[in-house]
Amino acid sequence: MSANTASGVRVRMYRQGLGDCFLISFPREGGGRFHLMIDFGVLLGTANAEERMKKVARSIALETGGSADGKMKGKVDVLVATHEHWDHVSGFVQARDEITGLIDVGEVWMAWTEDPNHPLANELRQDRKRKVAHLHAAAARLRGDTAMGDAAQGIEGLLGFFGARAEGGSTADAMKSLSERPESRVVYRKPGEPVFTLPGVEGVRVYVLGPPEDRKLIKKSDPTKRGREVYEFASALSLADTFFAGVALGLDDEGKGALAGAEMDPDAADLAFPFDRRYRIETEAARKLRVRKKGGGSCHFFREFYGFDAAGQGEGGDDGESPAWRRIDSDWLGVAQDLAMALDSDTNNTSLALALELGEGGPVLLFPGDAQVGNWLSWQSLSWPADPKRPDGAKITTDDLLRRTILYKVGHHGSHNATLREQGLEKMTSPQLVALIPVDQEMARKKKWAMPFGSLYERLKARTRGRLIRVDQGRLPFDEAAKYGLTRAEWEEFERRTPADPDGEALWIEYHLGG
Amino acid sequence: MAQAPSSPAFRKLRGYAFDPSLSTQLETAVVNEVVFRVRWEKELGAGPVGEYLEVVDFDPASGCFYAPVELDHPAILAQDGVSPSEGNPQFHQQMVYAVAMTTIANFEHALGRKALWSPRKRPDDKKEEPLVAPAAGAGEAAEAAEAAAASEAPAGGSGARKAREPLYSYVPRLRIYPHALRQANAYYSPEKKALLFGYFPAAQDNRGVHYPGGLVFTCLSHDVVAHETTHALLDGMHRRFIEATHPDGLAFHEAFADIVALFQHFTFPEVLRHQIARTRGDLASQSLLGQLAQQVGQAVGNYGALRDAIGQDNPETGQWEPKEPNPEDYANVLEPHDRGAILVAAVFDAFISIYKSRVGDLFRIASGGTGVLEAGALHPDLVNRLATEAAKAAQHVLNMCIRALDYCPPVDITFGDYLRALVTADYEMVHDDDRGYRIAFIEAFRRRGIYPRDLRTLSEDTLRWNARFEEVECDLVPLCLILRRFVETLSYPAEDGGDGTAVDERQRIWDEMENYGGLVNLLINGSDFDRAAFGQLTGLCLSRKHVPLGLRTNKHGIPKLEVHSIRAARRVGPDGDLVNDVVVCITQRRKVLVNPDDPVPPGWYDDDERHDDDPEWFWFRGGCTLVLDLETHSLRYAVVKRIGSESRLRRQRLFKTGGELAGLRATYFGDPTRSAEPFAFLHASHEPEP
């Protein structure tokens, strides 16, 4: 049965750049195909991004039954938007005309975190919006300090995951355009809902694994050392609040305008000051402050020991201007890097993670979005009755699903914290395991990101015995795969199952299951 | 007229023995407020700004300044300083000053000389002078002097730099910013020669003793201040230790800073007596003395102290449990703080053994010979005697740990090297180990799997730095004569500036170190010097032949070297003789590729600049620490890291590509250990996470 269900299933990975776009198609009972599309985006700053995404959209339209002249629309039965990051949803903005004009969508699936009627979801989104605005402000302030330019660039790179700041160009706009499609039904998925099937497709069952509906887990992003499961940034909110209160303080009018709608309660902002008002000395007053000098006389203390002059090449002392190299005007903003990373991870953690089971007890396709540690860990507490009619009977656990996983869409372009080791990859023990990595290493290198992450990449190659497909390089060549134990015959079989687009434009590559 | 009273020896300043959180608990409030006895500084300005430190209270996140405290104001002098208060920034300034000065005093006491901060490297001026050939990757002051002095010929065509301008300049005072950051972090900035302390709101739960959501100041934690000051002091002595070349490198920095902070707890007699009474003399059980940074640890959402040398709270039961030494740890634990904790635990363990052997008789006397005490509180006299012994043992251990720094290699230190340095340093102090101190250390290190991998046995005499130089004939008399002059010059009183201004004694040490370093460099490069034999002794490469790839050479093809530091170590030796030793560190560097197979254009190795399209590379350093006896003109110890060692180079390459250390930050921000603020990263990446 499982072999039958798997046969004819095709997973297509589009090769638009560093970003996710997958089209999975299942044979329908009685002919035709059922199309499940997951994500449609490419990283901000990719060359010709719009053109590429339009091309991908046209290809999807054709593949799903549309006509080349566009007179007949294609039909995607289910469109999944895993999470609100530009490299997953940019196409909905960049190729808006194509995606609406050429393709009909049956259902749109999003995670519960996008549900406008869910209180925790609203809180998370509100918090995210505020932090994005503040981090942009922090990055702008860092830009002004040459020594901190790298930090600013790093933060802006991370904020690029939320799209451009221009009107209509953000991820929020992309998500909004999805929920406003008149012909589609939007479904907010949450883990723990009963297993369900795809209409008209025999044997395929869908398991929703994440994101966890739990405030703590959804904020947990980094692997803990020493195996302790304590969540990080226990006080991220209040820590961030005091920090941002400082950021807002130093903004000019333009910067304050940019923060509109994300301002802080003035009482809270005042509490962020460490000392009473009477102790605080403003810069102008500090410049003039004189203190008694040893042996009589007085000196301008802060001029001599901190300095206000931008050039500040002096040596200080005896009322000279203190040198600029010892000042700390921007160092405190460096923590914005941590906050930007935390925000990025928190958003990745809202990924809708799906497992598609091909026939009862059959092989599993795992699409975790960019789920990070907290999301992955939460799957461990899930289980589903093997027989829906007997809820107290035998259970299917996440471990069962991982054990049967034969195709793994590697999370977050192969970064180190989006694939769990012991509770994840090491449990995918199927000898047929294949990995798809939507990564463009050149692009990642330009951004100075370690994607794919060295040791994880090694482990993936070992686990799949070299049966691995990347967006940038396609399938692993035989010489490379052979190092991980793949025989020539096996590799040729793998090659046969992984055809690329016939035009040789490297637009997509597929993996054909079964048969 | 009555004679003017002489200056006092100490300035008394009130402060916290641990941090403010303990003052809100009835049990510990009585001992938490202590009076620091800080060496009297005559010229102490507002700030405070003294000989070693300048406290500058600017809070950039709040956009405001806080007025500097005037400790010499009669009203403050008369009441042992500003009274402890979390809400008064002037007290914060006093607290950082008092703790930092105490830490400095401990260093100077152990080393018997003045402490210097690491010098400031001249900034890269490649923008103004794009054609400078031998630009300053990491700077070699003596090299510049040599380049100018060794050849009277016009200084090489296009490559002429502003000759003689020193690459390093003296930094008289470490700057301290008590409120520099709004985050749960504090760090030493090697770039700015400054300590930056943060403040942050405590976690919003009620488990610890802090006020939930209230502000926590890292500058009010004795342990955090002592820890950061120690980073600065260690950097002043060994400025290459902050380069991450080995898993032990940054871990050593962390561990050493913790060791100093920990053992400083034992210098507060009130606390010591209180904790000995509470633990009934068993210092190996849970006590405040073995814990670091209580409040900071709790406030970031981690119940218990930030670091605990001897045990930790079991996350399941919430109960404190002693840490069991595991010989596998050293091989397996790589994260710098966790790895550092192994070293801290080893030293603490050695201390406990020493303490136990010192108090065994007291327990027997107090228990009628059985050694088993009756239940109930200890007699106050016994507590006093135990406290005296604990304080003595702690002071010895702290001195040993600091003194060992003189016997460490100048680059690429490992814990095994440090053990050898400890044993050697202590042997130099006390030949006869009748108290078993060295055995205690060797035992404690061995139990954690820390020992040098290249020794056949693990006895005291093999661990002592060896004497392999005996096989090499090398005339060291000229070198010793130069160094003798250095020591003698500094032993004469400084001439005053002529205008009555006092001479900065520490600046004089620095200047003479520069001068004599230049002379040593000239000597080694001179035509009479037996470079081959000296190279054999020191592991340096000094001949024109067989120059390893990437080694910096001068325009005559002779390898360059840097006289890194010269330190006098004069003291009364174990036999009552005057030991007149001097420690000199000489280093060299090579430009090497991370991946040796990467192709490079011709001439690439001669270019010191970093370019964007460079393959990944780093400076590979080697060098030696020589301990010379100025009385007999002989070499006592040579601690060598060979510049030509290919196996060491292989290990460093492996370490550079290991990459697991940095985690998420490395995914997005590149290798943080190469950034200008290595400690900012180190502390930040650890502390928000329990």
Tens-place pLDDT, residues B221-243: 888 899 999 999 999 999 888 88
Cβ–Cβ contact B667 with A under 8 A: yes
Q: Could you tell me the pTM of the whole model?
A: 0.80
Structure tokens at A36: 């499940």
Task: Give the distance from residue B463's alpha carbon to the nearest chain A alpha carbon, in angstroms.
Answer: 33
Nearest to B668 among A154, A238, A292 (CB): A154
Q: What percent of chain A has a predicted confidence (pLDDT) above 70?
A: 87
- Which one, of B671, B689, B690, lies nearest residue B250 by Cα? B671
Question: Taking the CA of residue B448 as centre, how many other CA atoms within 13 Å lie in the half-sphere pointing to its CB?
Answer: 29
Strand partners, A357: A205, A364
Task: Give the distance from residue B524's alpha carbon to the nearest chain A alpha carbon, in angstroms.
Answer: 35
Burial of B328 (0-12, 13-18, 19+ CB in 10 A): exposed
- Which one, of B179, B367, B477, lies nearest residue A281 by Cα? B179
Residues A429, A467: contact at Cβ < 8 Å?
no
Per-residue H/E/C for A95-119: CHHHHHHCEEEEEEEEEHHHCCCCH
- pLDDT for A316 equals 58
Chain A residues with beta carbon closer than 8 angstroms to that of B684:
335, 338
Dump the DSSP string for A490-505: HHHHHHHH--B-TTSS
Q: What is the strand order of the sheet A185-189 is part of? A: A185-189, A103-111, A74-81, A33-38, A22-27, A10-14, A508-512
Q: What percent of chain A has a predicted confidence (pLDDT) above 90?
A: 41
User: In this model, does residue B552 exceed pLDDT 50?
Assistant: yes
Dump the DSSP string for B643-677: TT-HHHHHHHHHHHHH-TTTTHHHHHH--GGGSS-
Sequence-distant (6+) residues with CB within 8 A of B639 are B407, B408, B409, B417, B420, B421, B465, B624, B625, B626, B627
Residues B548, B541: contact at Cβ < 8 Å?
yes
Chain A residues with beta carbon closer than 8 angstroms to that of B680:
331, 334
Alpha helix segments (H runs only) across B112-188: 141-150
What is the pLDDT confidence band of residue A20, given thresholds at 50, 70 and 90?
Answer: very high
Contact A325 B192 (CB under 8 A): yes
Q: Tell me how far apart the alpha carbons of residues A163 and A41 are, in angstroms, rounded to a whole number.
A: 10
- pLDDT for B327 equals 80
Report pLDDT digits (tens) over A72-93: 999 999 999 999 999 999 999 9
Q: Which residue has the higher pLDDT, B129 or B506?
A: B506
What is the pLDDT confidence band of residue A254, given thresholds at 50, 70 and 90?
Answer: low
- pLDDT for A200 equals 87
Place of tokens 């560093």: A18
Strand partners, A234: none
- pLDDT for B574 equals 57
Which strand (E) or helix (H) includes residue B31?
Answer: helix B26-32
Task: Give the distance from residue A319's alpha carbon to the nearest chain B alpha carbon, in angstroms.
Answer: 13
User: In this model, does residue B645 exceed pLDDT 50?
Assistant: yes
Mutate to test the interface with A, among B321, B669, B687 (most CBs of A within 10 A): B669
Q: Tell me how far apart the alpha carbons of residues B623 and B561 are, in angstroms, rounded to a whole number.
A: 9
User: In this model, does residue B689 exceed pLDDT 50?
Assistant: no
SS3 state at B312? strand
* Integer angstrom CA distances of residue A75 from A34, A79, A512, B142: 9, 10, 21, 75
Chain B residues with beta carbon closer than 8 angstroms to that of A338:
183, 684, 688
- ipTM above 0.95? no
The least confident of A159-173, A260-274, B267-281 is A260-274
Place of tokens 């997509």: A508
Contact B203 A234 (CB under 8 A): yes
Which residue is closest to B50 within chain A, CA to CA? A294
The least confident of A174-188, B94-108, B182-196, B199-213 is B199-213
Cite the beta strand spans of B303-348 per DSSP E.
307-308, 311-313, 320-322
Q: Tell me how far apart the alpha carbons of residues A451 and A413 are, in angstroms, rounded to a whole number.
A: 6
Nearest to A154 among B191, B192, B669 (CB): B669
- pLDDT for A238 equals 56
Residues A102, A61: contact at Cβ < 8 Å?
yes
Sequence-distant (6+) residues with CB within 8 A of B630 are B480, B483, B484, B487, B580, B581, B582
Q: Tell me how far apart the alpha carbons of residues B431 and B27 are, in angstroms, rounded to a whole number.
A: 44
User: In this model, does residue B305 exceed pLDDT 80?
Assistant: no
User: In this model, does residue B70 exceed pLDDT 50?
Assistant: yes
Q: What percent of chain B has a predicted confidence (pLDDT) above 90?
A: 19
Q: Which residue has the higher pLDDT, B179 or B570?
A: B179
Rg (Cα) of chain A, in Å, rounded?
26
- Return the number of CB contacts < 8 Å for A and B: 206
Contact B664 A221 (CB under 8 A): yes
Per DSSP, chain A holds a count of helices (H) and strands (E) of: 21, 19
Report pLDDT digits (tens) over A23-32: 999 999 888 8
Strand partners, B580: B570
Task: Give the distance from residue B656's alpha carbon to the nearest chain A alpha carbon, in angstroms.
Answer: 13
The β-bridge relationship of strands A33-38 and B33-39 is unpaired
Residue type, B344: V
Rg (Cα) of chain B, in Å, rounded?
26
Chain B residues with beta carbon closer than 8 angstroms to that of A276:
87
Chain A residues with beta carbon closer than 8 angstroms to that of B664:
221-222, 341, 345, 415-417
Nearest to B65 among A302, A326, A345 (CB): A302
Strand partners, A163: A170
Sequence-distant (6+) residues with CB within 8 A of B647 are none
User: In this model, does residue A281 exceed pLDDT 70?
Assistant: yes
What average pLDDT does the segment B102-107 reach? 93
Q: Which residue has the higher pLDDT, B675 or B426?
A: B426
- Kindly report the average pLDDT of chain B as a whole number: 79
**Other C-beta atoms lying within 10 Å of the C-beta of residue B481:** 13
What is the pLDDT confidence band of residue B662, given thresholds at 50, 70 and 90?
Answer: very low
Dump the DSSP string for A290-356: EEEPTTS-EEEHHHHHT---SS--S---TTPPPPGGG--TTGGGGGHHHHHHHHHHHHHTT--EEEE
User: In this model, does residue B449 exceed pLDDT 80?
Assistant: yes
What average pLDDT does the segment A383-397 reach? 85
**Other C-beta atoms lying within 10 Å of the C-beta of residue B127:** 7
Residues A89, A117: contact at Cβ < 8 Å?
no
Q: Tell me how far apart the alpha carbons of residues B357 and A104 are, in angstroms, rounded to a whole number.
A: 83
Sequence-distant (6+) residues with CB within 8 A of A378 are A191, A209, A210, A211, A212, A214, A217
- pLDDT for B229 equals 95
Q: Tell me how far apart the alpha carbons of residues B397 and B256 are, in angstroms, rounded to a whole number.
A: 12
Residues B406, B567: contact at Cβ < 8 Å?
yes
Phi and psi angles of residue B505, each rounded to the nearest 5 degrees, phi first = -60, -40
User: In this model, does residue A389 exceed pLDDT 60?
Assistant: yes
- pLDDT for A166 equals 60
Residues A221, A351: contact at Cβ < 8 Å?
no
- pLDDT for A412 equals 92
Residues A314, A300: contact at Cβ < 8 Å?
no
- pLDDT for B154 equals 38
User: In this model, does residue B187 exceed pLDDT 60?
Assistant: yes
Query: Which 273-312 residues of chain B touch chain A by CB within 8 A?
Result: 300-302
Q: Is the peptide bond before A452 cis (omega within 30 degrees of 0)?
A: yes
For residues A181-203, b (16+ Cβ closer than 10 Å) or e, as one string? beebebebbbbeeebeebeebbb
- Kindly report the average pLDDT of chain A as a whole number: 84
What average pLDDT does the segment A500-505 reach? 87
What average pLDDT does the segment A193-221 reach? 84
User: In this model, does residue A368 exceed pLDDT 80?
Assistant: yes
3-state helix, strand, coil in chain B (%, to 5): 40, 15, 40
Report pLDDT digits (tens) over B330-350: 877 777 777 888 888 889 889
Cβ–Cβ contact B198 with A under 8 A: yes
- Which one, of A96, A75, A2, A94, lies nearest residue A32 by Cα? A75
- pLDDT for B225 equals 93
- pLDDT for A253 equals 62
Cβ–Cβ contact B66 with A under 8 A: yes
